[in-house]
Amino acid sequence: MRASGSRKLGKQGRRRLCRMYDYGSPENRRINGRQSNNRTIWNNEPWKFRRLLFLSTAQGGCVWCGNPPKVVCHPPGSPTYGTEDYLDFRKAKCYPLCVSCARAEYRGQVLCPRCRRTGHYCAPGNVCWDCIPEAERERLLYLRDKRKRDRSQYARTRARSFRPKKVIDNRTGKWITISPKQNSSTSSRS
């Protein structure tokens, strides 16, 4: 029973609620703890002032693509989290990034080393889709389509194997249905 005044959660709301309380792995607990501790720092005035000052003095813009920076990024694994050095961006070796580059960095991607265009991110050591040679791109598309065909064919054959079969009983001459669990060579009657 819902409390009066509360609204029913839809599918998206339930998913969001589950994600909000998903502290399953120790890594998730560590990240959530660090983010909640840093949220108090991010919401105070000294942080906002220093952040604006750092971003306004960043020459050249985003260090990845050159667009106007919006995010101050600390280096991954920075030991300054939760310390006084966290607010000193020069000492913490922070760098300015635009929003899309910061999102890509959070996902563990880098800017494509070949074309270096905004929005062209890839895993470290790879290149973006546009920089892959045409022959390799066709090969990758063929492999993707082959995997799709193989999966759908496997699903069809698996579904057929669970379908009941109709056969004629040798003793009675009537049609009977045999479930997939029964062996076709033995009769269910004794």
CA distances from 73 to 87, 129, 163, 177 (A): 12, 26, 57, 66
Assign 3-class secondary structure to 68-127.
CCCEEECCCCCCCCCCHHHHCCCCCCCEEECHHHHHHHHCCCEECCCCCCCCCEECCCCC
For 85, other C-beta atoms within 10 Å of its C-beta total 16
As a whole number of angstroms, the distance between CA 188 and CA 190 comes to 7
Residue 4: the pLDDT is 46
Residue 128: the pLDDT is 86
Residue 45: the pLDDT is 85
- pLDDT tens for the chain, residues 1 to 190: 444 444 554 555 544 444 444 556 666 666 666 666 677 777 778 888 888 888 888 887 888 888 888 888 888 777 666 667 777 788 788 889 988 888 888 888 888 888 877 788 888 888 888 888 999 999 999 999 999 999 999 888 877 777 777 888 888 888 888 776 665 454 444 4
H helix and E strand count, the chain = 5, 6
Residue 8: the pLDDT is 52
Q: Which residues pair with 177 in a beta bridge?
A: 166
Residue 17: the pLDDT is 44
As a whole number of angstroms, the distance between CA 184 and CA 188 comes to 9
Residue 148: the pLDDT is 94
Residue 143: the pLDDT is 94
Domain boundaries, the chain: 12-43, 46-108
